[in-house]
Amino acid sequence: MHSDLQPEVGGSGAYALIVHLGERVGMPVAEGGSGAVSAALRYAGGVIATGRRVDRIVVEHGRAVGVEAAGDAFRARRAVIAALDPQLVIRLAGPDAFPARSLAQIRRYRRGLGTFKLDWALDAPVPWQAEACRQAGVVHLGGSVRDMSKAV
């Protein structure tokens, strides 16, 4: 299910191998959780701004160099990282910020399926009845394969 493809579609099983590898050698999780990733970004000089409406992506010489949000300007030393719909990127940076060929590719982009993932930090293991589930690094819950295929 990690591929966002129906289970019957060729190639969707490749993600099972990746998850299996994670179960065998451990899943790549930052010690201390995702808060440790944020702390490392800040330690390296990064700025994490949330709860603000981005007004503009500042582009100079074909490179994103900053962001203006809620009246504040954030200058980037190396990169601007954002999870945005490509059409919104065009609007915020301005169509003149892109070469014509790239702009055409971005405009042809079509959204795919939405995915939702929830990670919980627990104070004890989940008391699964099945031993295999108690030993697994990842457990996917769902109905039948047909039900999961219809959901995808």
Angstrom distance (rounded) from CA 130 to CA 139:
11
Domains identified in the chain, total number: 2
| Residue 43 located in a structural domain | no
| Residue 25 located in a structural domain | yes
Res 34: pLDDT: 80
Give backbone dihedrals phi and psi of 139, rounded to 5 degrees, phi first: -125, 130
- Domain membership of residue 106 as a residue range: 50-113
| Residue 94 located in a structural domain | yes
109 and 135 co-located in one domain: no
Q: Which of 18, 88, 23 is nearest to 53 (CA)?
A: 88
| Residue 44 located in a structural domain | no
| Residue 40 located in a structural domain | no
106 and 134 co-located in one domain: no
| 109-116: Cβ within 8 A, 24+ apart | 111/85, 112/4, 113/4, 113/152, 115/4
| Residue 3 located in a structural domain | yes
Strand order in the sheet with 72-75: 54-60, 63-69, 72-75
Tell me the pLDDT tens digit for each residue of 17-66.
777 777 777 777 778 878 898 899 899 888 888 888 899 999 998 889 99
| pTM score, whole prediction | 0.59
55 and 80 co-located in one domain: yes
Q: Which of 102, 96, 64 is nearest to 80 (CA)?
A: 64
